[in-house]
Amino acid sequence: MNNAVLTLCLPALLGLVVGSFLNVLIHRLPRMMQAQWDAEARLMSNPAAPSNLPTYNLAWPGSHCPQCQHDLRWFDNIPALSYLLLKGRCRYCSARIGWRYLGVECLTGILFAWAFMYHGFGVEALAWCGFSAALVALAAIDADTTLLPDAITQPLLWSGLLMSSLSWTGISLSMSLWGACAGYLLLWLVLHLFKWITGKEGMGQGDLKLLAALGAWLGWPALLSLVLISSITGALVGIWLKSREKLSPEGYLPFGPFLVFAGLWVMMFGSLPPFQI
């Protein structure tokens, strides 16, 4: 086997492992947030009420089948391989396992391999691996719940500024800082303009924070490409879903996955030609 191909297998395998963790994060983080909101609501209504809810976090309880609740053994959790060997079904109850588990692992592996192929073996590649992993998790969580958790968007924003200050992303600190500020302000203006015209909320605060984080990582010159790519792909998907009568009754489509697609596109291929600086 070619040495270059063999070398890229290592970051791809790392990506598969990280993708397996992302599947846990995607499933559990929204539930952890909901549990925290419920606990705060109970505390506000009855401050003396005891809290005896079972522990639920990223580490506990252990991995188990959501259908039969059977604990999964280590050989049921080998990234990608276990899914393929089990043909996408639970070993114990034969319930179907969603294809996205495999998709998240494989996509993360591909993005990690690309980062090391493009940037070489070093801290810059690791930085872009972290960026990619955070975006994959955000896209899936937003698609499921219409939430973009601060627990991911805020560290993504601050890490973008930090990485640029250390010259680990190829983006100057000035471009990164203005990218974060302008990214947030741009969608803030769109949000309030849409609300002024229609009287409705067009997007959530999480979208603003996500574009700010993308601006911090990719720089202010990428913002127009990010907005254009995400808007066009979002419109096309929305039209397709509506034609197949699969759009939600409210006609709402989470914008986060399209911002993520735009961010990964610009990361890999650069800004669109009219906006390249």
SS3 call for 77:
coil
Query: pLDDT by residue (tens digit) across 62-106?
Result: 888 888 888 888 888 899 999 999 999 999 898 999 999 999 999
Comparing 24-33, 111-120, 166-175, 248-257, the range with the smallest average pLDDT is 248-257
CB 47 within 8 A of CB 151: no
Q: What pLDDT score was predicted for residue 274?
A: 67
pLDDT confidence tier of residue 3, bands split at 50, 70 and 90:
low
Asked whether residue 6 carries a pLDDT value surpassing 70, the answer given is no
77 compared with 128, residue with greater pLDDT: 128
Buried b (16+ CB within 10 A) or exposed e, 131-169: bbbbbbbbbbbbeebbbbbeebbeebbebbbbbbeeebb
- The chain-wide mean pLDDT, for the chain, equals 90
Q: ∠ CA 74-80-83 to the nearest 5 degrees? A: 75
Q: Tell me the C-alpha distance between 4 and 33, whole Å.
A: 43
Q: Tell me the C-alpha distance between 173 and 166, whole Å.
A: 9
CB 263 within 8 A of CB 226: yes
> Mean pLDDT, to the nearest integer, of 45-57?
71
Q: What pLDDT score was predicted for residue 272?
A: 79
Residues sharing a CB contact under 8 Å with residue 235, sequence separation 6 or more, in sequence order: none
Query: pLDDT by residue (tens digit) across 172-214?
Result: 999 999 999 999 999 999 888 878 887 777 778 999 999 999 9
